[in-house]
Chains A and B, each alone.
Chain A
């Protein structure tokens, strides 16, 4: 079963605008969430994380929002740049999952110059 879902396989955004990538999860025991970015033929690169004690975490152009009641998190990229074009994965862990991270299926972001 897919405990972490990214329902948008792809997203296109104009350069300079905001990119919003969404992620939903089903396991209420998850308490740690991460976003990774992946270019073709490379491994995923860690972007930003958030623990369940917070509802927002910022790092430069990247902000992650967590809505625990809705079991939803989102990644905002402002402003979007062409180099941000990649596949973005969200991941979650916690509770009885041990040290296993559950990943979504990814959203392919294209930033149009």
Chain B
């Protein structure tokens, strides 16, 4: 069974640009969550999608948005990038969202 796949693995962007990250969950999983990891901050919850609907949202500005497609694949978009957005962005999938989640390898975003 294939794991959670995130693309791209690495990304370098300039301040002010926008970026889209992609996540393909484990087959059969309908819940996809996104997290931001920065040094010393642990994993900060961004949002969770289930059956194409955003069910839960963390405390991030509106520049961070996402969506989920009918095949459960999810994308995360960050507009008007800031230097502080440099982080590892992790996607996690689970069957229902309230059980253990399985993470992808993450996308390392660097904003210069």
Contacts and interface: CB of A to CB of B under 8 A. Distances in A.
Q: Do A and B bind each other?
A: yes
Interface stretch (A14-22, A39-47, A67-75, A76-84): A39-47
Interface residues of A, number: 25
B100 A43 contact: no
Interface stretch (B11-19, B60-68, B101-109): B101-109
Interface in A32-74: 32, 34, 36, 41-46, 49
B42 A41 contact: no
Interface string A93-113: 100001111111110000000
A25 interface: no
B56 A103 contact: no
Majority-rule SS of B interface residues: strand
Contacts of A103: 35, 42-45
Given A43-B105, A44-B103, A99 B43 contact: no
14 contacts: A4-B42, A43-B104, A43-B105, A46-B100, A49-B100, A89-B43, A91-B43, A99-B31, A99-B33, A99-B97, A101-B33, A101-B45, A102-B45, A106-B42
Interface of A: 2, 4, 6, 32, 34, 36, 41-46, 49, 89, 91, 93, 98-106
